């Protein structure tokens, strides 16, 4: 039976109760995908998947998607090209007409018409060509970000953020600049062809003299290209290294300052900057060596044209107007060759950047929806880890081995274990951040790999011990799980998470814009906002990964009171590090070395499992606030240990 069909008797079961004040007309647990942003226009092109093709051929579908704008730009560029080639010829004919003392008005009018046509067509093709180039840049950024959004957590575990930022910005910009500049070079090349053809009709030998130095420009251009390609790749890679270091130091500035590591980080950045400088200087040195030759060889051709053309004019074989026309064409023809070096550098940098972009786009997403995946609709909340085996990487140690655990609908299950026992991994597998190596993770009996990830994450809410907040208002952060949530619903969720009090004390209340990652708030305040963000979505399954670790005992007790109400009719998995948190659970699962060692109530495990008592006694489970005056939890732990000892004696 399809998961999108109604199941018999499902309307009779109890669904999780929403936080008080949340107005939910439709069933809260029914899957409804988040609405897309209205202003988003998906890219119209794609990158060709054949990795054996050259980078331009792979990029061609993206270019072809803008064929209309590109075609209009080329058409107007061709008009400008014809006018550009015709103007020197008209000027030459006009000068000959003046020397012959004939009517020059025709040539003057024609020159004005060509100038106006060239001005309008130049504006038209440049405007459309730049719009075309920026549209390509938009599509490439969209393709890059869409692909990054599909990548699994395993991908981000292995790559550096600065590398991704560099490829999504400077590398894409390098490709965009070439796509904008290449048509200019193509137009200049057409100028050369047309001008060369016209010059041949006037005087063949003078034409050959005029272009005699241009083949050398091509030879030097090829040498420059061969040098620039590897250097361009090195420069882009070292730019990414610098970007990575800057990004890590900005985001981790508190750690750097806490350990007085400013000088070490400055030295690290200086080393990377020196490496970048070396590569950049090599690029500049190569360019300085060849570019002057490529730029000045056409000027030598112009001198030869004036020398030989002067002798021809003295002998009456060519007119003065022809010499002026040829001189103008030499100046016109030298432009593409003068820019050839710059174009070579730009093309090689674009090729290197395209290769770095393709490295990301060619990396397949490891975790994707199956073509026949169903939506998870109105789940009861039964969770089963069916003999799961998992490791994060092929060469890594096993994190879970034959892990078998069942959580019943509406039950609160606490996961307890030492560091490295796999508690957080269990939560990540449930939300399908990773896929299991063996076994299966099931919700209502359905393998999560057979369900759409969006519907799983709609119904399974997770609060981590290190919540991430956006640089936005508190309202927007809480409503992130449900962008259409009203202010009353946001406030109700905040009250349930015991966050409403401190939010009301802020200058702008729920409209207060918090700093990056929420660091303007305390750790406990960030966690309470993260809990409210999850609660506003009213998930059928709630996962709390040590979600109250940063709050004091008093606040934790208030949150627990709210969570006891909220978890009454929903499945809740609590990764517990405090006795007070464990007290919320109906049952406790004891984890050790990636396996379920025992399952039972808190009292049962205290009596029958020595390892459980060891875990509770470790420093990982001691409340940090106990060191500064909170003795309530110590008393609770002592009472629990006394109870366990009494049972052992009685046994």
The model's pLDDT over 133-150, given as tens digits with 9 standing for 90+, comes to 888 888 888 888 888 888
Residue 296, Cα to own-chain centre: how many angstroms?
Answer: 44
Q: Is the pLDDT of residue 40 over 80?
A: no
Question: What is the pTM assigned to this prediction?
Answer: 0.65
Contacts of residue 565, defined as CB under 8 A and 6 or more positions apart, other chains included, come to 17, 496
Q: pLDDT digit string (tens) for 457-511?
A: 888 988 877 778 888 889 998 988 888 888 999 998 888 888 888 898 888 899 9
Contacts 24+ apart (CB under 8 A), 515-519: 515/471, 516/251, 516/471, 517/251, 517/468, 517/469, 517/471, 518/467, 518/468, 518/469, 518/470, 518/477, 519/254
User: Which of 602, 569, 599 is closest to 584 using CA atoms?
Assistant: 602
**Cβ distance 570 to 410 under 8 Å?**
yes
The residue with tokens 């003295």 is: 314
Structural tokens at position 396: 């890594």
CA distance 372 to 431: 19
Exposed, middle or buried, 158 (CB in 10 Å: 0-12/13-18/19+)? exposed
Are the C-beta atoms of residues 20 and 496 closer than 8 Å to each other? yes
The reported pLDDT for the residue numbered 28 is 42
Helices and strands (H and E) in the chain: how many: 23, 10
Q: What pLDDT is recorded for position 644? A: 42
Q: How far is CA 539 from the centre of its chain?
A: 27
Instruction: For 58-78, write each residue's pLDDT tens digit.
Output: 888 888 888 888 888 888 888
Question: What is the Cα gyration radius of the chain?
Answer: 36
Contact 625, 638 (CB under 8 A): no
pLDDT of residue 468: 81
Residue 149 tokens read as 């959004």
Which residue is listed with tokens 């909220």? Answer: 566
pLDDT of residue 448: 93
- Phi/psi at 87 (5° precision): -60, -50
Per-residue tokens: 197: 């053809």
* Alpha-carbon span 114 to 84, nearest angstrom: 8
Close Cβ partners of 91 (under 8 Å, ≥ 6 residues apart): 111, 321, 324, 325, 328
Q: What is the pLDDT of residues 401-452, one digit of tens each?
A: 999 999 999 888 999 988 888 888 998 999 998 999 999 999 999 999 999 9
| pLDDT attached to residue 341 | 63
| Top-confidence residue, 359 or 218 | 359
* pLDDT value for 108: 86
Least confidently predicted of 4-8, 344-348, 549-553: 4-8
Distances (CA, A) of 149 to 145, 153, 609: 6, 10, 44
* Range scoring the smallest mean pLDDT among 105-119, 256-270, 391-405, 549-563: 549-563
236-248 as b/e: b if 16+ CB within 10 A: bbbbbbbbbbebb
pLDDT band at 551 (very low <50, low <70, confident <90, very high): low
SS3 103: coil
Contact between residue 441 and residue 485 where contact means Cβ atoms under 8 Å apart: no
| 157 against 549, higher pLDDT | 157
Whether 356 has a pLDDT exceeding 80, the answer reads yes
pLDDT digits (tens, 9 = 90+) for 640-649: 444 444 444 3
DSSP structural state of residue 513: B
Domains of the chain and any CATH numbers? 55-361 (1.20.1560.10)
Q: Which residue has the tokens 């274990």?
A: 417
Confidence of residue 650 (pLDDT cuts 50, 70, 90): very low
The whole-angstrom separation of Cα 421 and Cα 595 is 8
Closest CA to 403 of 421, 428, 380: 421
Looking up tokens 């006891």 gives 564
Q: Can you list the alpha helix ranges (DSSP code H) found in 9-104?
A: 55-64, 67-99
Q: How far is CA 205 from the centre of its chain?
A: 58
């Amino acid at each position: 039976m399809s998961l999108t069909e109604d199941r018999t008797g499902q309307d009779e079961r109890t669904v999780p109760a929403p936080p008080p004040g949340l107005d939910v007309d439709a069933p809260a647990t029914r899957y409804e995908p988040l609405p897309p942003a209205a202003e988003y226009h998906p890219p119209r092109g794609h990158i060709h998947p054949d990795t054996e093709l050259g980078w331009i051929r792979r990029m061609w579908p993206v270019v072809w998607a803008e064929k209309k704008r590109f075609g209009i730009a080329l058409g107007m560029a061709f008009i400008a090209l014809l006018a550009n080639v015709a103007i020197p010829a008209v000027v030459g004919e006009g000068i000959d007409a003046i020397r012959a003392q004939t009517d020059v008005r025709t040539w003057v009018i024609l020159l004005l018409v060509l100038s106006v046509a060239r001005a309008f067509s130049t504006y038209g093709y440049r405007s459309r060509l730049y719009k075309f180039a920026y549209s390509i840049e938009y599509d490439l950024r969209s393709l890059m970000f869409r692909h990054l959004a599909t990548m699994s957590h395993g991908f981000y575990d292995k790559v550096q953020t600065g590398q991704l930022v560099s490829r999504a910005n400077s590398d894409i910009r390098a490709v965009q600049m070439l796509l904008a500049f290449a048509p200019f070079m193509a137009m200049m090349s057409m100028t050369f062809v047309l001008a060369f053809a016209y010059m041949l009709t006037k005087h063949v030998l003078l034409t050959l003299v005029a272009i005699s130095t241009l083949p050398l420009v091509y030879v030097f251009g090829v040498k420059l290209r061969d040098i620039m390609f590897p250097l361009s790749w090195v420069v882009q890679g070292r730019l990414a290294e610098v970007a990575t270091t800057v990004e890590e130091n900005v985001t981790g500035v508190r750690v750097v300052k806490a350990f007085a590591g400013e000088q070490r980080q400055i030295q690290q950045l200086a080393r990377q900057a020196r490496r970048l400088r070396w590569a950049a200087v090599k690029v500049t040195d190569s360019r300085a060596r060849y570019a002057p030759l490529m730029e000045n060889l056409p000027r030598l051709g112009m001198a030869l044209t004036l020398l030989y053309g002067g002798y021809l004019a003295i002998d009456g074989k060519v007119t003065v107007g022809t010499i002026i026309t040829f001189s103008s064409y030499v100046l016109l023809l030298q432009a593409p060759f003068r820019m050839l070096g710059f174009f070579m550098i730009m093309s090689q940098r674009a090729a290197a950047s395209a290769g770095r972009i393709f490295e990301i786009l060619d990396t397949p997403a490891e975790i994707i929806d199956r073509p026949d995946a169903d939506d998870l609709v109105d789940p009861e909340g039964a969770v089963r880890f069916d003999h799961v085996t998992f490791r994060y990487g092929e060469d890594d140690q096993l994190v879970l081995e034959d892990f078998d655990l069942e959580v019943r609908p509406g039950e609160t299950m606490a996961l307890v274990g030492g560091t490295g026992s796999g508690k957080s991994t269990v939560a990540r597998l449930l939300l399908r951040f990773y896929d299991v190596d063996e076994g299966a993770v099931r919700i209502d009996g359905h393998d999560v790999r057979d369900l759409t990830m969006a519907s799983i994450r709609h119904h399974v809410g997770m609060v981590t011990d290190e919540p991430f907040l956006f640089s936005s208002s508190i309202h927007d952060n809480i409503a992130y799980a449900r962008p259409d949530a009203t202010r009353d619903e946001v406030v109700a969720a905040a009250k349930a998470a015991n966050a409403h009090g401190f939010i009301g004390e802020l200058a702008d209340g729920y409209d207060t814009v918090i700093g990056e990652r929420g660091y303007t708030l305390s750790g406990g305040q960030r966690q309470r906002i993260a809990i409210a963000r999850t609660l506003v979505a009213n998930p059928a399954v709630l996962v709390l990964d040590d979600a109250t670790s940063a709050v004091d005992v008093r606040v934790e007790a208030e949150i627990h009171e709210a969570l006891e109400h909220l978890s009454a009719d929903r499945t809740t998995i609590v990764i517990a590090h405090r006795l007070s948190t464990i007290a919320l659970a109906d049952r406790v699962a004891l984890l050790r070395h990636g396996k379920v060692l025992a399952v039972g109530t808190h009292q049962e495990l205290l009596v029958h499992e020595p390892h459980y008592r060891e875990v509770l006694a470790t420093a990982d489970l001691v409340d940090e606030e106990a060191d500064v005056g909170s003795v309530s939890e110590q008393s609770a732990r002592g009472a629990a240990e006394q109870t366990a000892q009494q049972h052992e004696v009685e046994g």
